[in-house]
Structure 1
Amino acid sequence: MTSLWRKLLQLILRRPRPADGRIAVKGKVITLFENGKSVSRIALDDIRKIDAYKIDEWTTDLICFDIHTEQNGERAVHTLHEDLPGFNDLMESLKQLPGFDATWPEKVIQPPFDENRTVIFER
């Protein structure tokens, strides 16, 4: 591999990426897992805002959600992406939120490789 390609590959692999793991949805509770362990639980009622956007991964885009929560006075942001197992179940669950923007894909997906950050839910 040439030096230029090696450097390019290193830059690509160094890019920050949302955490990997899995998503489980049961009723109105979303559980996030990393390395097989539950790391966070989010009740739908604790969600204050959701941003949808894309990360340009050079040849493809990665759809991401920043889920802003407030639980017992503490605020947090959970970044989840479409490659996580359970993301489709998450989507179905989020549709229950009053005022959830079901047209978000039209706003985020095109044009390709632009972030297109869009608020899809806010209380």
Structure 2
Amino acid sequence: MAKLTKNTLFKTDRPRAETLIDRTTRAAREILEDQAEQRELKTARLRKARLEREACTPGNAPGATSKGARKKSRSSLAKKAEGPGGTTTAGTSTAGGASVNPKEKSPFAAL
């Protein structure tokens, strides 16, 4: 058996060389951490400005929006696009490329 010494018993591993993937991963993580930090700072700054603005305007309740400023749901927008009977009134294309317009005469109407 080999003689046990400080050099043979406790081998120090050489640090392995950083691969291209490791460098890319490290750079991406640094970028993401920087962006997250900037986003948190911006959010805090905007929150502070909003709270100050709301404190200065006593007439408006916090979180209240006017009716015009509310977003409309997709279902209400879809209902407006539909005409009577659930058909669309605007000329839209179908899978075959033909225009769907109720005022247009169908080529099959004569049959």
**Bin of the TM-score, shorter chain as denominator length:** under 0.3
The structure with the largest strand share of the pair is 1
Select the structure of larger CA radius of gyration: 2
TM-score (norm 1): 0.19
Bigger relative CO (Cα 8 Å, ≥ 6 apart): 1
Q: TM-score, normalised by structure 2?
A: 0.21
